[in-house]
């Protein structure tokens, strides 16, 4: 290695050291449909902390949750009003191979586009190939605040 190659390697190494922290920081932020933060009070009546999500169901982004069959997607969780004042909060990660599932309000079921697994709104498997239920999170409604415990 000559002097020129040594200087180039030192400069390249320094550039990598400067870039790595900013890349890692961007990877730790939880995707959010409302705001680019994983804590605090994003717009739309949603408060997200490390152990819970509070949704004010009277505010604009959450009003779908006021009706049976209505749903909302927040922080990789599908929140569904299952009727009778009850809610379901489920991971949107399919237990078969990790694809993103979605709530089909027409059928009232959660479906995986990858290999056809179908789940109930409580997360149970209706149709495979998935064999395990979707991860479920406890929900409580106090006043207008629906809390999802993570």
Under the rule (CB under 6 A), what is the footprint of ligand FES? Answer: 94, 96-99, 112, 114-117, 129-130
DSSP label of 23: H
Residue with tokens 């870039």: 19
In terms of CB distance, is 53 or 94 closer to ligand FES?
A: 94
Please give the Cα distance from 88 to 98 (Å, whole number).
20
In terms of CB distance, is 52 or 109 closer to ligand FES?
A: 109
Name the minimum Å distance from CB 122 to ligand FES.
Answer: 17
In terms of CB distance, is 72 or 96 closer to ligand FES?
A: 96
User: Per the structure block, which two tokens stand in for 140?
Assistant: 């409580």
Name the minimum Å distance from CB 125 to ligand FES.
Answer: 10
Name the minimum Å distance from CB 54 to ligand FES.
Answer: 29
Name the minimum Å distance from CB 113 to ligand FES.
Answer: 8
Whether residue 65 contacts residue 88, with contact meaning beta carbons closer than 8 Å, is answered with: no
In terms of CB distance, is 37 or 104 closer to ligand FES?
A: 104
> Strand, helix or coil at 142?
strand
User: Strand (E) positions, 7-51?
Assistant: 46-48
Q: Tell me the CA distances in angstroms from 43 to 5, 32, 48, 89, one per residue in order.
A: 51, 11, 11, 20
């Amino acid at each position: 290695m000559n002097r020129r190659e040594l200087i180039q390697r030192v400069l390249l190494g320094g550039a990598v050291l400067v870039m790595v922290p900013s890349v890692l920081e961007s990877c730790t932020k939880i995707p959010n449909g409302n705001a680019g933060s994983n804590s605090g009070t994003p717009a739309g009546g949603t408060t997200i902390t490390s152990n819970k999500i509070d949704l004010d169901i009277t505010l604009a982004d959450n009003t779908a949750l006021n009706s049976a069959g209505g749903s909302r997607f927040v922080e990789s969780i599908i929140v569904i009003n299952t009727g009778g004042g009850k809610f379901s909060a489920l991971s949107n990660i399919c237990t078969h191979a990790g694809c993103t599932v979605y709530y089909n309000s027409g059928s009232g079921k959660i479906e995986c586009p990858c290999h056809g697994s179908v789940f109930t709104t409580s997360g149970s498997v209706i149709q495979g190939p998935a064999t395990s239920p979707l991860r479920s999170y406890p929900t409580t409604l106090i006043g207008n605040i629906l809390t999802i415990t993570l």
